[in-house]
Amino acid sequence: MSIRIHGRCPSARHPMDSGDGLVVRLRPQANRLTPDQARAIAAAALRHGNGLIDLPARANMQLRGVRAQTHAALIGALAPLGLIEPDSVVAPRNIIVTPFADAATYALAEALRRALVAAPGLPHKFGFMLDCGPAPVMRDSSADIRLERSVEGGLILRATGISQGAPVTLAQAPLAMCDLARWFVAAGGIREGRGRMAQLIAQGARPKGALAPTHAPAPGLARPRPGLVAQGALVGFEFGQLQGETLAELAALGPLRLTPWRMLLIEGLHAMPDLPGLITDPRDPRLRVFACTGAPGCLQGRADARALARRLAPNLGPETIVHVSGCAKGCALPARADLTLVATPEGFDLIGNGRAGDPPSRRALSPLDILQLPEFS
């Protein structure tokens, strides 16, 4: 079985076939959900899908197991709540807003959304990131154009792949981000409908003039873990997946902010919630295990990645990060992991300090072989 590269992410109106039905991706504005929106998504997941909801690294939501015959009804239920892109949008804009945003950042996100209406056509996976808190916190999250703080404290616009950025003001930022997107297109960043900023930068392209990178970004912070923060409570989920019933219970606690870390932030809470299905302990080893849907839920999965990941989690070292992938695409974790296991027709390949597509150090391991390795025992 060959690996199929779609070159796009699913959307609400253009879902993607999977082994358990259609995958419908929702992109709430500014990565926020009101309680009413969250309750409606939970009801739609239970009524029109298999009840499972994924939290991808793009800080949005995917409803799994949606039936083709009820897809239109799902769209009809969620569109009045502003959760569905217009009919005319084929490639929705990807904007990730820091979960720790303040009012000014949310106003900036809305200004960027409006400005991008006039921006050029971009690849489906091309993304914008507003990581403009006191220090960047989403460095390991995928994006192409980033707004961050500089070491001096001002804002900089940074193309992924370049270590420095161009200084901008809050008022200038939305149009400057669109200008950088236009530069990407003009510089030849799109080929056959695909392309990412880091690929273009790796070829030696550099923005000039007002977009020229001159200022260093502030040092980034570590990936957050579950716990209380100034904005509320961060809660995690095993492999970034929750049940529709769980989402409905969380909606009763307050507005929700989606994150790129398989977590949700419940606004305004001063104590951690005690509900089934949540990861609230920052030391839980499952926070350091990444696993895709795998077989049979994914058509390209060659093994049940999550079943193996659950067996490995309790034996991990205190800082070890493990990625179990059902195929060589590595959807659950595009970044490097300490240990990566990739399912093949012959078994699992093991990669040390690499990505799913990197050359393995060992091949065709069975689950029993893996459990007996020193790294997992």
Please indicate, yes or no, whether residues 191 and 339 belong to a single structural domain of this protein.
no
pLDDT tens for each residue of 347-371: 999 999 999 999 999 999 999 999 9
pLDDT of res. 1? 46
CATH number at residue 368: 3.30.413.10
Q: Provide the residue range defining the domain that includes 362.
A: 285-376
Q: Are 146 and 158 in contact (CB under 8 A)?
A: yes
**In the predicted structure, residue 6 carries a pLDDT above the cut 70:** no
Verify that 120 and 152 share a domain, yes or no. yes
Q: Residue 243 pLDDT more than 80?
A: yes
pLDDT digit string (tens) for 163-178? 999 999 999 999 999 9
> 188 and 112: one domain?
yes
Percentage of residues of the chain with pLDDT beyond 90: 89
Same domain, 137 and 237: no
Q: Using CA atoms, how far apart are residues 29 and 92, in angstroms rounded to an integer?
A: 11
Same domain, 179 and 259: no
Confidence of residue 88 (pLDDT cuts 50, 70, 90): low
Task: Flag whether 29 is in a domain.
Answer: yes
Give the CATH number, domain containing residue 81.
Answer: 3.90.480.10
Residue 3 has pLDDT above 70, yes or no: no
Strand order in the sheet with 227-229: 32-33, 256-258, 263-267, 232-236, 227-229
108 with 74, same domain? no
Res. 4: pLDDT tops 90: no
Residues 330 and 354 grouped into a single domain: yes
Quote the pTM value.
0.94
Residue 310 lies in a domain: yes
Q: Is 105 found in the same domain as 46?
A: no
Within a domain: 57? yes
Asked whether residue 217 is domain-assigned, the answer is no
Calculate what percentage of the chain has a pLDDT beyond 70. Answer: 97
- Residues 293-326: pLDDT tens digits? 999 999 999 999 999 999 999 989 889 999 999 9
